[in-house]
Amino acid sequence: MGRAKRAPPNESTTLLVGLASLGPPYVTDILVWYNMNNNYRQLLMQPKYAFTALVFTILLGNAALTTAETPIRIDCEFPGGNIILERIENSTVFVRPDLRDTKGNWFYWSFRVRGAEGGELTFRFNRNVIGVRGPAVSCNEGKSWRWLYGKALKSPQNSFTYKFGPDEKSVRFCVAMPYQKGNLGALFKKYSARNDFVVEHHATSRKGRDVPRFRFGSIRSEPKYRILLTCRHHACEMMASWTLEGLVDTVMANDSRGEWLRENVEFLCIPMVDLDGVEDGDQGKNRKPHDHNRDYYPEPPIYPEVAAIKQFVPKWSKGRLRMALDLHCPFLYGKSNVKGGNQSLFFVGNPKEDSFEKLMSFSKILEEVLKGPIKYDSRRNLPWGESWNTLKEPRMFARWADNLPGISIATVLEIPYADISGEPVTIESARALGADLAAAIERWLKRQAENQ
Ligand SMILES: [Zn+2]
């Protein structure tokens, strides 16, 4: 529903990609033109281009035949897809992220290669948009993912080479491990029969999508505490969604932790604030005129999802909201041994008096309960006033939530895309971090009760 229209891949794509790979600038221009316009079918329907293609096919008979025998198709026609194919020279594919309405540069991309089985291709980007563990790779249409490199590199890259196995007819590559609306649907299905889990309509997106929210835990009676979880204010920050899922599963688990959390806490979650961006494969971050996480101030919000959060949450919280946690991913790569380092896990502080102190006490608890492979050191938290954390106006979700009645902690957790101090961020480790967050929430609430 409402997906941005892009031309479906077809045999014409194959022909043009094949011809462009032969190198004549004229054909390359056609390919660039045709990619920029996203209008493949129409292009080939124009007699002059169809004729040009035919002439090349005849003139370069052998090469064209080779193309026909080994058609390589590169596309992004699936949820979250994003790539601009510039040209192919021999076995090097020149690509770049589709920035769309992004202010400046960003690094999200996700594409599929078909018909390259048994071969080897190098993918060269226009910038360093590949993290230190290389691309995430999926050979089963996105059902499972792995990092290409077993060990983290010292620096980001602008290219990678992939040797396609003889049976790898369709391989996806992405800057990290995608989490789409389909993944969320699977999560909802898992708990659809439970009476302590409910999915609701949150808002209708600007492109007409039904943006969901869900509540779980103590939803049938007035809870002791309320906790608000948000994710994908920035569409591309998908690793955060795996952590969110790990947290939800831990709360829903049939063990003493899950039971205590469900008995005492009502969780509200808006899992994909920028659902349009998630599904269309937008960067989302630094969207013009401003992105979803810069839409809380001044009034009125320009995004329906943010307007709905501002309207619904104060009514729902009834003074029992204790924590608002907004899950993000930072920049693609960076340092691990500094405050707010992009290869470290860190919380972001607010300017309100004693809020950082409260955040630090929760952070210490997270350090105590940490069981998963992801390392966390509370000294990496980024206090207000340091590095980029200096925005004066309360334009961000966490700053807005920090003023809700009764709240103790409103913060952003930045979960790196690929690597934390040498430890890979994967679907499994990101989910394990979610479980650790749930454990920390339980201990933190219990301690608060003890101290009252
Ligand atoms: Zn973000």
Q: What is the pLDDT along the chain (452 residues), one digit of tens a residue?
A: 333 334 333 333 443 444 444 333 333 333 333 333 333 333 333 444 444 444 443 343 333 333 445 589 999 999 999 999 999 999 999 999 999 999 999 999 999 999 999 999 999 999 999 999 999 999 999 999 999 999 999 999 999 999 999 999 999 999 999 999 999 999 999 999 999 999 999 999 999 999 999 999 999 999 999 999 999 999 999 999 999 999 999 999 999 999 999 999 999 999 999 999 999 999 999 999 999 999 999 999 999 999 999 999 999 999 999 999 999 999 999 999 999 999 999 999 999 999 999 999 999 999 999 999 999 999 999 999 999 999 999 999 999 999 999 999 999 999 999 999 999 999 999 999 999 999 999 999 999 889 87
Distance from the CA of 72 to the center of ligand 1, in angstroms? 35
DSSP 382: B
Residue 285 CA to ligand 1 center (angstroms) comes to 7
Q: How far is CA 370 from CA 232, 331, 417, in A?
A: 24, 24, 19
Burial class (CB in 10 A: 0-12, 13-18, 19+), 361: middle
Which positions ≥6 away from 221 have C-beta within 8 Å?
none
Tell me the whole-structure pTM to 2 decimals: 0.86
Give distance in angstroms: CA of 273 to centre of ligand 1.
11
Give distance in angstroms: CA of 417 to centre of ligand 1: 11
CA of residue 227 to ligand 1 center, whole Å: 20
Ligand 1 mean position, distance from CA 365 (Å): 24
What spacing in Å lies between the alpha carbon of 236 and ligand 1's midpoint? 8
> Which ranges constitute the DSSP H helices of 60-200?
61-69, 181-190
Bridge partner residues of 207 (DSSP) = none
- Cα(237) to ligand 1 centroid in Å equals 6
Cα 414 to ligand 1 centroid, rounded to whole Å? 7
Tell me how far the alpha carbon of residue 389 lies from the centroid of ligand 1, in angstroms. Answer: 12
Residue 419's DSSP bridge partners are 424
Q: Which domains does the chain have, with CATH numbers?
A: 1-71 (no CATH), 81-176 (2.60.40.3120), 181-451 (3.40.630.10)
**Interval between CA 160 and ligand 1 midpoint (Å):** 26
Q: What is the DSSP code string of 21-49?
A: HT--HHHHHHHHHHHHHT-HHHHHHSHHH
39 Cα: distance to centroid of ligand 1 (angstroms):
32
**Beta strands per DSSP E along 82-196:** 84-89, 92-96, 110-114, 120-125, 136-138, 146-147, 159-163, 170-174
Q: Which residues are found with C-beta within 5 Å of the ion, ligand 1?
A: 234, 237, 328
Residues in the chain: 452
What is the longest distance spanned by two Cα atoms in the chain?
Answer: 84
Distance 287 CA to ligand 1 centre (A): 11
Distance 32 CA to ligand 1 centre (A): 31
- Distance from residue 286's CA to the centre of ligand 1 (Å): 9
CA of 174 to the centre of ligand 1 (A): 18
Q: Which residue has the tokens 């022909």?
A: 15
Structure tokens at 6: 């892009």
